[in-house]
Amino acid sequence: MTKSVSAVDLFCGAGGLTHGLRLEGVNVAVGIDLDPTCEYPFEHNNDSEFLCADVAELTGDSLRDYYPARAVKLLAGCAPCQPFSTYSQGHRNDADDRWTLLRHFARLIKELRPELVTMENVPKLRDHEVFTDFVQTLKDLAYHVTYQVVDCREYGIPQNRKRLVLLASQLGEIELQKPTHAKKDFVPVRQVIGRLEKLAAGSISKRDPLHRTSALREKNLERIRASKPGGTWRDWDKKLVADCHNQRSGKTYPSVYGRMSWDKPAPTITTQCYGFGNGRFGHPEQDRAISLREAALFQTFPPDYAFAEPDDPISFRKTGRLIGNAVPVKLARVIAQSILTHLKRVSL
């Protein structure tokens, strides 16, 4: 009989990774994050405890207490990606102590020795010494390690998002499940948000407070009206083009102020995805940016996932951060399925 798996989710955020693990039957004993705004969504949507703490200050012994006796221990984590993200290039700050969080993850593995480890991050992390060191630590501790860059669209996630996924096991060879969707079957925007209530820029649905869109100034309203699905600001009349589109050492930025296409997956959902000027986040036909609910759906959160208490104000900035930072729930399910298949194979 396969033993049950129990996880500790480091850097748990609003619970994208935890939610997917739990949907596949992996118990998550605790989620840990420094940001207190994660507590409500993490606990409300997942029958799991939240600990507001700095991962750098945890010890392996303190984590051990969370695991039920005899469970197979999974240490899961998704260290903050900003220092590695292509979106923050040019703003890299080596002194930023978030760079060290992956080293703390490795330290906790050494101290705890969980049977299983999983880590998700941006693909660029592969190019950094901190990642090479992380993998080497696992190998030195006799873990079987596998990692790859995943195209989320190949797993039915309606979004052009690439992520580095690592799996490691002390119990034998482990591998990520094979992709489920060929290019012709990629899930398009229409399938995800095509039937949602129509909204004007700056308005909120009466039925779902998360279905809210940021307001647009007159100039940006003119710009979105002039935007074609899948097009760029280059389609606009010259008078609408902002100076910033063409400046900065002659570079151009075609991937801002775009509308999505109904028949293609969404672009990568970022922490800024609620702003029309922040990427290709325009709705395919309504004159507005996508709503926070639409962003959460592209991240494959269930349609009723709550990010704030019913009477609390919903901030675009805070909620955008929780949504854009999340591991897509569907990707987390693939990770969980891979782990459960592995455990069956090593017949624990």
Cα 25 from chain centre: 20
CA distance 320 to 273: 7
CA distance 340 to 195: 35
Is 12 near ligand SAM (CB under 6 A)? yes
- Binding span for ligand SAM by CB under 6 A among 34-42, 64-72, 186-194, 243-251: 34-42
The three-state secondary structure class of 327 is coil
In the complex with ligand SAM, the residue whose CB is nearer, 30 or 240, is 30
**Among 147, 17, 155, 15, which Cα is nearest to 74's?**
17
In the complex with ligand SAM, the residue whose CB is nearer, 53 or 221, is 53
**Among 160, 150, 122, 164, which Cα is nearest to 258's?**
160
In whole angstroms, how close is the CB of 221 to ligand SAM at the nearest point? Answer: 32
Element (H, E) at 169: strand 162-169
Is 273 near ligand SAM (CB under 6 A)? no
In the complex with ligand SAM, the residue whose CB is nearer, 96 or 175, is 96
In the complex with ligand SAM, the residue whose CB is nearer, 96 or 222, is 96
- Binding span for ligand SAM by CB under 6 A among 26-34, 159-167, 244-252, 309-317: 26-34
List the one residue from 6, 7, 8, 16 that touches ligand SAM (CB under 6 A). 16
Is 101 near ligand SAM (CB under 6 A)? yes
List the one residue from 5, 6, 8, 15 that touches ligand SAM (CB under 6 A). 15
- Binding span for ligand SAM by CB under 6 A among 10-18, 137-145, 196-204, 311-319: 10-18
CB atoms within 10 A of CB 221: 17
**Among 140, 120, 119, 137, which Cα is nearest to 129's?**
137
- Binding span for ligand SAM by CB under 6 A among 7-15, 124-132, 150-158, 307-315: 7-15
81 catalytic, yes or no? yes
**32 within 8 A of 51, measured Cβ to Cβ:** yes
The sign of the CA dihedral 34, 40, 42, 46 is positive
Is 216 near ligand SAM (CB under 6 A)? no
Is 13 near ligand SAM (CB under 6 A)? yes
Restricting to residues 279-338, which ones interact with ligand SAM according to CB under 6 A?
A: 325-327
In the complex with ligand SAM, the residue whose CB is nearer, 121 or 227, is 121
In whole angstroms, how close is the CB of 250 to ligand SAM at the nearest point? Answer: 33
Please pick, among 81, 152, 244, 273, the residue that the annotation labels catalytic: 81
CA distance 301 to 95: 34
Restricting to residues 109-138, which ones interact with ligand SAM according to CB under 6 A?
A: none
What the block records as the tokens of 109 is 């593995």
CA distance 227 to 10: 41
List the one residue from 6, 11, 22, 245 that touches ligand SAM (CB under 6 A). 11
Which residues neighbour 183 within 8 Å (Cβ) at sequence distance 6 or greater? 153
Is 34 near ligand SAM (CB under 6 A)? yes
What the block records as the tokens of 50 is 């939240």
Q: Residue 300 region, left (φ>0) first, then alpha (ψ -120 to 50), else beta?
A: left
SS (H, E, C) 243-279: HHHCCCCCCCCCCCCCECCCCCCECCCCCCCCCHHHC
Restricting to residues 48-87, which ones interact with ligand SAM according to CB under 6 A?
A: 54-56, 78, 80-81
If binding means CB under 6 A, how many residues of this protein chain bind ligand SAM? 23
Q: Which residues are catalytic?
A: 81
> Which residues form the interface with ligand SAM (CB under 6 A)?
11-17, 32-35, 38, 54-56, 78, 80-81, 98, 101, 325-327
